[in-house]
Structure 1
């Protein structure tokens, strides 16, 4: 698209320059005033030729012949590029692009997904299911073009996610989180560094193909670094060892689309020192507490008498609405 636009601008500028030069030539050779010279230059290059003004001198006629050949060629070149631009639907692309830019500007607390490969598509599908706003960034224009044709609601940007200007286009300063799942570990590290420099509060989850990269991603500022092969291997092992438990959890979540397990931290000082029963978490939020982590100690299926303290990590299960209530309650 940019190449077509450049060709059109080149053709228009060349035509204007040619008309300007021919105006000066007519004015000099034929002795016409500038407006008349300009008028004759325009009608000549347009092949209209009214005949009210014609070159009288031999030199003027020779220059006119050369001018017609060059001018008609330039006109044909410019018009062919304009036709190509229209036929290929570039105006429609520009309209879509502007519309998408306006959508991105309005986004707030959204997620930026860097990389639209196999893993990126899975991430986007999960964000869709949760009705979470997102922007996809991928350097491959063909991949995104195909994705947009399949899903008109997809908000995406073609560009290099390691560059600040690309992340700025994705409105990173107002984003809640960034998920980096591009193919290269080095790129995931660069994306993390760039994202944190633009928005230090953004929550970054980055993928690592090699386990040795996990530490580098954390040092770069990633809040979570995940190696899909390790996670996948652990999941397979857990299913093989405890198939009934995992099948129960998966079926429970699958049957209720808005059921989730969340990790929350107690910040509400009013809960400090209270027992689980006294907190009335179940009555107030409807969420179920699966486990409580106190320092390095994990209490699973906590009894009602267990005491809560500020800084404790709570693992809760429930519907999205219930967990939102719980989150607000624990934060105070």
Structure 2
């Protein structure tokens, strides 16, 4: 049982004992409630003024029992309070309360399930992009150390497969969930639970075993990633085309805010217009890399390529350019 729960229980028991003794004294001694309550409080505090004393046998017996029970309850509660303060539980409770307040304010955020090596990389990237997120992990010590390094980190100690933990993380208000726990089975279970709680949430899940990729997609993941496959492909590309890969990495590294993003065309003013006539490049500065029309993907589209409402475009540019593009194609 948590220390603060023990304190709550101790206080409840003390109040209950005082009220029970007050009722007994009212009944057997004929005192009014305030007098009986006064005697009960004075007795349990060991002050003992002696201005009111029980006259009946039952009254005296109840006081004897009450002293042992009451003093024991007070000693237990005071000891727990001392433990709460001395062992730093007060700080922990305050931090927990503060964390709970932060969680309630989160909206359109991401939930990272698992704070291992992959989870930390994901968290760092989201932080760099200014995207709000909350971390869930079973390892309290790991999260404690992470908070010491970054007090702004919002996290929950718990099992991400639990619906209650996902609800606590605000899954009903979340934009996306990234599941990178160590077990493939848990990643599948987390995906199932998350989609059940929020059918519209965007889920990216990790799979160590290639055979799990299909299971994750069937469970509801929008994207399933096998780090070993991705890492192997990257290594192969570097080995086969080192100059090309170096150029791409240098390009991204030279401008940290360069990104590739996906957008859906919603602005009816752009419907049935060519890329050239839409003046996307002139107005936003972003470059369209590909256009997806239904199941057809058009890579390196020409200026004469027609775009329509509902088309998905993939564009390359800085954060500022891509934000302009988003507003333009969405008609904001």
TM-score by length of 2: 0.86
Give me the CA root mean square deviation: 2.9
What is the distance in 1 between the residues matched to 2:216 and 2:153? 28
Work out whether residues 113 and 136 of structure 2, in 8 Å CA contact, stay in contact via their aligned partners in 1.
Answer: yes
Aligned to 2:242: 243
CA 297–50 in structure 1, closer or farther in 2 if over 3 Å, else same: closer
What is the distance in 2 between the residues matched to 1:269 and 1:67? 80
The alignment partner of 1:49 has SS state of coil
The alignment partner of 2:181 has SS state of coil
Give aligned pairs, total: 330
What is the distance in 2 between the residues matched to 1:247 and 1:69? 78
Work out whether residues 290 and 297 of structure 2, in 8 Å CA contact, stay in contact via their aligned partners in 1.
Answer: no
What is the distance in 1 between the residues matched to 2:118 and 2:168? 23
What is the distance in 2 between the residues matched to 1:9 and 1:129? 41
Matches of residues 250-289 of structure 1 in structure 2 within 5 Å? 250-264=249-263, 274-289=273-288
Give unmatched runs, 5+ long, in structure 2.
none
Q: Which moved more, 1:64-73 or 1:77-86?
A: 64-73
What is the distance in 2 between the residues matched to 1:33 and 1:277? 92
Matches of residues 1-332 of structure 1 in structure 2 within 5 Å? 3-27=2-26, 32-56=31-55, 64-264=63-263, 274-291=273-290, 295=295, 299-300=299-300, 302-305=301-304, 308=307, 314-331=313-330
Q: What per-residue deviation string (whole Å, max 9, x for no partner) do you get for residues 191-230 of structure 1?
A: 2122222222221111111111100111111110001111
CA 36–197 in structure 1, closer or farther in 2 if over 3 Å, else same: same
What is the distance in 1 between the residues matched to 2:247 and 2:151? 36
What is the distance in 2 between the residues matched to 1:292 and 1:22? 79
What is the distance in 1 between the residues matched to 2:233 and 2:29? 88
Give unmatched runs, 5+ long, in structure 1.
none
Q: Shift of residue 155 of structure 1?
A: 1.3
Q: Shift of residue 153 of structure 1?
A: 0.8
CA 42–107 in structure 1, closer or farther in 2 if over 3 Å, else same: closer
Q: Which moved more, 1:272-281 or 1:96-105?
A: 272-281
Q: Shift of residue 29 of structure 1?
A: 5.6
